[in-house]
Amino acid sequence: MDMLDLKVFIAVAESESMSKAAQKVALTQPAVSFRIAGLEAELGAPLFHRTRSGAFLTEAGRKFYFYAQYALSALEAGQDSIRMLSEPPLEEKLRIGIVDSLTHVMLPAIIQSMKEQTSVIQWKINTGQSLDLALRTASGELDISFINQTYSPLPQLGTVKLFEEPLVFIGPKQAGFPRYQSLVTYLEEVPFILLKRHMPLRELLEHELFRPLRMSPRQLIEVDTSHLIRQMVEQGTGCSFLPVSSLWAAGSDAEIERILLPEIRLRQSFYCVYHQSAPDNILDLLPNLHAGINAQVIRFRNGGTP
């Protein structure tokens, strides 16, 4: 297998469609199907269930997805490192990743550290999804990342748990939006706006909530960010789940209502991950960053302005 095989596999997994994946990777649909068949033959297991409505990961495909992302990220980071050889060296730099939904919590603490640390000449801040940031940290492309899931198969990573927040069920503050007494009724009657599959929050809901109920939303809208979830719920498009920390960014005047249901008792944890080989001067920044983030969390929980 090669980098293009991995890109094709990831594109099919995320779009759940051979034809859509072909557009993403600039190949024909037969070429995409041929490469997936070759991967399946090499791995000795089917990676997708092929149906009229699309291509969906098998259990083997779900397991391979993580390692495909890991391998592709490492290869791309290796290419970047070679390209950087021609760039002038910097005295010190810190490369940080932040999952999109946590920028409002993490950035104030990072900015404060930037003001206090004169030894770091260049700060590079990246945003993205947790899995991508974890992989980029494991490959050495990033030094530290703030994410919402741990990835135990990555021995290169050290992990610090930052905080955890309960998940809340939310709907719009609109008089006409239905109010039911059970989650099952919502799943049957109301559109759900959820993050796409393979993202940590979606996986948590699938495994800990929908699977035990043996139900999934009858009407589903998939999006890429919690910011879109908040916007669409405010506009009355449907309901959703978010950790409390994601609602802090919306502010108290957001047109979002928390709907209390006895079935919802889930919590999501947030972590700092760092590369085990990061130099000491970078690792020495972690305690101050952690303390600053905890202070931000306490202010938000108390309803104060950070």
Domain boundaries, the chain: 3-82, 89-163+269-301, 166-268
- For residue 272, what are the CA distances in angstroms to 31, 66, 86, 143, 285? 40, 19, 31, 10, 12
C-alpha span between 163 and 63 (Å, rounded): 27
Spatial contact of 237 and 161, defined as CB atoms under 8 Å apart? no
Q: Which residue has the higher pLDDT, 193 or 118?
A: 193
Fold held by 89-163+269-301: D-Maltodextrin-Binding Protein; domain 2 (3.40.190)
89-163+269-301 and 166-268 in the same fold: yes
| pLDDT over 90, % of the chain | 23
Closest CA to 242 of 230, 224, 253, 252: 230
Percentage of the chain exceeding pLDDT 70: 91
Q: Would you state the pLDDT for residue 113?
A: 77
Q: What angle do CA 298, 148, 240 make, to 5 degrees?
A: 90
CA dist 301 to 51, 54, 101, 123, 248, Å? 46, 43, 16, 29, 9
pLDDT band of residue 197 (cuts 50, 70, 90) is confident
For 166-268, the fitting CATH number among 3.40.190.10, 3.40.50.11540, 3.40.50.300, 3.40.50.2000 is 3.40.190.10
pLDDT in tens, 3-58: 888 889 999 998 898 999 998 888 888 899 989 999 999 999 999 998 888 889 99
Amino acid at 153: P
Mean pLDDT of 237-247: 91
For the entire predicted model, the pTM comes to 0.71
Question: How far apart are alpha carbons 169 and 259 in whole angstroms?
Answer: 5
- What whole-number distance in Å separates Cα of residue 70 and Cα of residue 250? 33
pLDDT reading at 277 higher than 50: yes
pLDDT tens string 224-234 = 888 899 999 99
Q: Which residues pair with 145 in a beta bridge?
A: 97, 273
Residue in the block written with tokens 């008089």: 175
Q: Specify the pLDDT at position 135.
A: 83
Q: 113 versus 272: which is more confidently predicted? A: 272
Please work out, in degrees rounded to the nearest 5, the angle formed at the alpha carbon of residue 63 by the alpha carbons of 61 and 68: 80
Mean pLDDT value across residues 169-190? 91
User: Which pLDDT band holds residue 186 (cuts at 50, 70, 90)?
Assistant: very high
Do residues 136 and 275 lie in contact, with contact meaning Cβ atoms separated by under 8 Å?
no
How wide is the angle at C-alpha 112 spanned by C-alphas 134 and 108, nearest 5°?
Answer: 60
In the predicted structure, residue 306 carries a pLDDT above the cut 50? no
Q: Which CATH architecture has domain 3-82?
A: Orthogonal Bundle (1.10)
Position 246: which residue type?
Answer: S
- More confident call, 92 vs 17: 17
Tokens 């557009």 found at: 23
pLDDT confidence of residue 220 = 94
